[in-house]
Amino acid sequence: MTNSLTALAIPIGLLANLALAAPPAQATRPNFVFVLGEGHGWSSTSVRMDDAVPESASAVTRTPNLERLAQEGIRFANFYAPSPRCTPSRATFFTGLSPARLHMTFVGEGAGDSGGADASCKLLPPRCVLELPESTTPLAELLKRAGYATAHFGKWHVGKVSPATHGFDESDGATSNGGPDNVANPHPKQLYGMTQRGIDFMTRQVQAGRPFYLQLSHYASRKGGDASPEAIAAVKSWGGNLSEQALAQTAADLDLDIAFGILLQAIEKLAIDSHTYVLFTTDHGSPGRNPPLSGGKGTVSEGGLRVPFIIRGPGIQPSTCCHVRAVGADLFPTIADLARVSEPLPEGLEGGSLVSVLTHGGQGAVRRPREEFVVHFPHYDMDAIGPASVLLLGDLKLVRVYETGTLRLFDIAQDPGERRDLAAELPDKARELDRRLTQYLTAVDAQLPAPNPKFDPGQPTPATRDYMGKGRKKSR
């Protein structure tokens, strides 16, 4: 099945690249290919992200090339995106700094930059930073100083300043949801286009004998109009009673998997697979269902935060399922560690290197500056509870609801659907975790929501409003 699917809808230019013979010169340091999906939830691919949870693989979507990556590498059952939204997660992936510390806590389009509150909102969200600060040291800049060639193709979405300013030798520019052509649906054209550009970049670096770091960052392809006719026909041939929307989403996911397979073939043709790390993750959960988790994109529920993460490369045991918690901020120190970067890492990194876990069969612990993991999302979006912050420590998850001041507490190991609130049963534990949350937010100078002087209790409450559909430009 994999070969027939991979052969579907491959542009001629890509086939030509794959036919190239591998040049003799090869880099001694490892290469990195970081593929970032857009809004693929924990259970939205055909990879079973948790070997103990059948629902962690989609019953509909077929992604055989991602399955191959999992078979040849390690998948993390408990990997968390930095935010339930695109821009803040990407900012953390690129810099290793949390959205709270960067003050980049919402998307850079629509009403997020102005707080997004009106008279129906009890609180005023903070005005967030829209441009990745030039004072940061992004991973690409660090690797470039260490002798790596660097490229970013696809969705940038962390400001309007060129990726070149942040250490990338090559890029598509400061693209947003519309892509280089600024159109409603960049896919499938840009999906295969960025794959082509990535293969061209890899080929040139291998010929030059230079190690490289390549980011391929996908655009949202989760709605009708974003899938190729060939992929739509393939999904229809599978049978089943899919709705029109489900069919379009499944076909778009198939397109992404095909492009991913083309990339893996190119790495093999260039004979660099033995010293190249390939990573796949995504920026937040799916907009729809993420079974068995609750919630999705734009919420601090597990479905909005827990996402796929798969990596293969030298020293990684194949077909491993790791249950150690990993977070988006871990990728910066992990890649720097694998690349053997000699200069000190930037201050303020909140993640830890995953190398010991990667090289010990998914076992062990990750050393981070703090034990807890925090997601700070002080904005109105797709969650009925409104602005909120989350702290995870062990199996416990605390949710602070800013509108009401209430605390929620869940045991996510036993209750991943977050159906049983334990705050009343464990008030001391809830208060302890809340103190930790306050200490963290204070330490990173996080911005908090403030009372809204225009709040009108007679207006519909946030729980009954559609924040993304009422007078607001949709953004991803």
Identify the band that residue 223 occupies on the pLDDT scale cut at 50, 70 and 90: low
Scanning 286-426, the segments in alpha helix (DSSP H) are 302-305, 331-338, 355-358
Least-confidence region, from 43-52, 235-244, 278-287: 235-244
pLDDT at res. 246: 87
Lowest mean pLDDT among 111-120, 251-260, 371-380, 391-400: 111-120
Specify the pLDDT at position 175.
96
Of the listed ranges 10-24, 246-260, 306-320, the least confidently predicted one is 10-24
Mean model confidence pLDDT for the chain: 90
Would you state the pLDDT for residue 24? 44
Rounded CA-CA distance 156/1 in Å is 33
pLDDT at 116: 56
The kind and range of the H/E element at 1 are: none
In this predicted model, which residue has the larger pLDDT, 10 or 43?
43
Distance from C-alpha of 93 to C-alpha of 79, rounded to nearest angstrom: 13
235 contact partners, CB below 8 Å, separation of at least 6: 242, 247, 250, 251, 254
Percent of the chain with pLDDT strictly greater than 70: 88
**373-464 — its CATH code?**
3.30.1120.10
**CA torsion angle for 192, 195, 197, 198 (degrees, to 10)?**
180
CATH of 2-358, one of 1.10.10.10, 3.40.309.10, 3.40.720.10, 3.40.50.2000: 3.40.720.10
What is the pLDDT averaged over residues 292-317? Answer: 97
User: Rounded to an integer, what distance in angstroms lies between the CA atom of residue 257 and that of residue 255?
Assistant: 5
Which candidate, 146, 63, 78, places its Cα nearest to that of 307? 78
Q: With a cut of 50, say whether residue 475 has pLDDT above it.
A: no
Sorting pLDDT into bands at 50, 70 and 90, what band is 406?
A: very high
Structural domain boundaries in the chain: 2-358, 373-464
Phi then psi dihedrals of residue 215, to 5 deg? -110, 130
Closest to 372 measured CA to CA, from 323, 329, 421: 329
- What local confidence, expressed as pLDDT, does residue 19 receive? 47
Question: Which range among 66-75, 436-445, 461-470 shows the weakest confidence by mean pLDDT?
Answer: 461-470
Q: What is the pLDDT of residue 2?
A: 39
Instruction: Grade residue 287 by pLDDT with cuts at 50, 70 and 90.
Output: confident
Higher confidence at residue 243 or residue 2? Answer: 243
Q: Phi-psi category of 239—alpha, beta or left, where left has phi over 0 and alpha has psi -120 to 50?
A: left
Of the candidates 346, 348, 354, 347, the residue with the CA atom closest to the CA atom of residue 328: 354
Q: What phi, psi does 389 have (nearest 5°)?
A: -130, 150
Q: What is the pLDDT of residue 120?
A: 86
User: 180: exposed, middle or buried (C-beta count within 10 Å: 0-12, 13-18, 19+)?
Assistant: middle
pLDDT of the residue at 21? 45
Predicted confidence band at 53 (pLDDT cuts at 50, 70, 90)? very high
The encoded tokens of residue 139 equal 């991973």
Task: Please give the average per-residue pLDDT across 431-456, as a whole number.
Answer: 96
**262-286 b/e (C-beta count within 10 Å ≥ 16 → b):** bbbbbbebbebbeebbbbbbbbbbb
Mean pLDDT (whole number) for 432-441: 98
Whether the per-residue pLDDT at 3 is higher than 70: the answer is no
pLDDT at 357 over 50: yes
**Lowest-confidence pick of 102-106, 200-204, 460-464:** 460-464
Q: Are 321 and 73 in contact (CB under 8 A)?
A: no
Task: Quote the pLDDT of residue 224.
Answer: 57
CA distances (Å), 292 to each of 55, 62, 182, 302, 415, in order?
6, 18, 36, 9, 10
Determine the pLDDT at residue 459. 78
Question: Predicted confidence band at 245 (pLDDT cuts at 50, 70, 90)?
Answer: confident
Tokens of 103: 């003050």
Q: Rounded to whole angstroms, what are the CA distances from 453 to 335, 343, 446?
A: 46, 49, 22
Helix (H) or strand (E) holding 347: none
The pLDDT of 181-188, averaged and rounded, is 90
Q: How confident is the model at residue 474 (pLDDT cuts 50, 70, 90)?
A: very low
325-335, pLDDT tens digit by residue? 999 999 999 99
